């Protein structure tokens, strides 16, 4: 649930390290377009012009060492595609991904292997992300073997310490079990441990609690937050649950149809949303205090087709505050407050 008030952002979570540790990741005008494979009749009607689905369409942001950036929005807005592209699981259509000054986009083949140790991903479904034929020790041993880290005894020691750090204690109760012998929360902790066993500097957490019972979500969020604070781990936290972002994130970015439309500290995004789309999202999240009433913002119409985006502002067809200029041009991000930017003609 969203709190009625938020602490000052400079003192919130991990944010103080933004001025101490420096930038780790810089994403510049990232695009990921998926070509559409049409039948021959559709190809004739389109006169040979192949359509594309613009899942991510010119996204730029940066992350400091130890920062947790939340990425929120409706299903299909491009959140997961950004995470998969940052991990090079999707090849970007264009743009740059600078990791500690190195352009990851240019890395291919064997040159990717050293970078893989520095960046890992935790998937949404722990039931599918673990090999059912591997015990837990085999699951965590595999990345250490691939990257040739330590001797067998040293690898076992690394695995034990990692499982303990991820809250699986005593280790002997888990290390020789198979995934089907664990609960959903324990499986997700193993997935996080698998990502952390290589001691990465950056992880993408793609809706890591959405498949879990509500009663155990808080423990996973607390684990991710402690890893960021204690290890200086940089996390891209992808979710549609804005209430959980208020707890774990240092900044929140709101996406709509492949674009970031607003980004800022939790206090600004959750208490004072500026973009009409963000306002609608926040109005749908309940307060923890049922006596507080808030007007629901309903959006007319449906999300436009990402294959045929509207001219000008892509939120225009659903916006009650649309102006003539919204038809002509797409607004860029404009700073409207300290660390708070919004993409809307209302603020230009």
Segment (H or E) for 289: none
Res 39: pLDDT: 60
Report yes or no on 189 lying in a domain.
no
CA 301 from centroid of its chain's CA atoms:
27
* Low-confidence residues in the chain, pLDDT < 50: 1-19, 48
What's the pLDDT tens digit per position in 194-216? 999 999 999 999 999 988 888 89
What are the two backbone dihedrals, phi and then psi, of residue 29, each rounded to the nearest 5 degrees? 50, 50
Are 288 and 243 in contact, with CB atoms under 8 Å apart? no
User: Domain of 269: which CATH number?
Assistant: 3.40.50.300
Are 1 and 246 in contact, with CB atoms under 8 Å apart? no
Are 117 and 200 in contact, with CB atoms under 8 Å apart? yes
Report yes or no on 302 lying in a domain.
yes
Q: Which of 103, 58, 69, 53 has the alpha carbon at shortest distance from 261? A: 58
Residue span of the structural domain in which 288 resides = 9-111+236-347
Report yes or no on 201 lying in a domain.
no
Report yes or no on 341 lying in a domain.
yes
For residue 161, cis peptide bond before it (omega within 30 degrees of 0)? no
Report yes or no on 141 lying in a domain.
no
Res 288: pLDDT: 67
For residue 219, CA distances in Å to 215, 224, 334, 346 come to 8, 9, 36, 40
Report yes or no on 219 lying in a domain.
no
Are 130 and 191 in contact, with CB atoms under 8 Å apart? yes
Res 6: pLDDT: 37
Tell me the helix, strand and coil percentages in the chain, rounded to 5.
40, 20, 40
Report yes or no on 173 lying in a domain.
no
What does pTM read for this prediction?
0.89
What's the pLDDT tens digit per position in 88-140? 999 999 999 999 999 999 998 889 999 999 999 999 988 888 999 999 999 99
Report yes or no on 54 lying in a domain.
yes
Q: What is d(CA 154, CA 117) in angstroms, rounded to the nearest whole number?
A: 17
Q: What is d(CA 345, CA 50) in angstroms, rounded to the nearest whole number?
A: 32
Give me the number of domains the chain comprises.
1
Helix (H, G, I), strand (E, B) or coil at 76: coil
């Amino acid at each position: 649930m969203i709190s009625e008030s938020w602490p000052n952002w400079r003192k919130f979570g991990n944010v103080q390290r933004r001025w101490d540790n420096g930038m780790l990741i810089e994403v510049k005008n990232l695009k990921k377009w998926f070509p559409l494979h049409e039948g021959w009749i559709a190809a004739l009607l389109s006169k040979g012009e192949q359509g594309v689905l613009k899942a991510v369409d010119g996204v730029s942001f940066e992350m400091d060492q130890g920062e947790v950036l939340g990425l929120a929005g409706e299903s299909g807005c491009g959140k997961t595609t950004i995470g998969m592209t940052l991990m090079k699981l999707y090849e970007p259509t264009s743009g740059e991904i600078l990791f500690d000054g190195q352009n990851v986009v240019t890395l291919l083949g064997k040159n990717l292997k050293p970078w893989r140790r520095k960046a890992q991903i935790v998937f949404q479904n722990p039931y599918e992300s673990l090999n059912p034929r591997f015990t837990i020790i085999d699951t965590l041993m595999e990345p250490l073997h691939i990257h040739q880290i330590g001797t067998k005894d040293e690898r076992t020691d690394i695995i034990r310490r990692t499982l303990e750090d991820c809250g699986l204690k005593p280790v002997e109760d888990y290390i020789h079990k198979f995934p089907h012998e664990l609960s959903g929360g324990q499986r997700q902790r193993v997935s996080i441990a698998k990502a952390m066993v290589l001691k990465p500097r950056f992880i993408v957490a793609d809706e890591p609690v959405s498949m879990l019972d509500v009663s155990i979500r808080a423990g996973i969020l607390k684990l991710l937050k402690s890893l960021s604070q204690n290890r200086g781990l940089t996390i891209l936290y992808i979710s549609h649950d804005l209430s959980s972002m208020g707890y774990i994130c240092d900044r929140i970015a709101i996406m709509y149809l492949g674009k970031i439309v607003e980004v800022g500290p939790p206090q600004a995004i959750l208490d004072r949303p500026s973009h009409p789309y963000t306002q609608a999202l926040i109005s749908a999240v309940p307060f923890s205090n049922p006596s507080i009433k808030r007007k629901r913002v309903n959006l007319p119409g449906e999300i436009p087709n990402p294959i045929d985006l509207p001219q000008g502002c892509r939120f225009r067809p659903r916006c009650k505050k649309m102006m003539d200029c919204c038809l002509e041009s797409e607004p860029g991000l404009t700073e409207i407050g300290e660390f708070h930017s919004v993409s809307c003609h209302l603020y230009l």
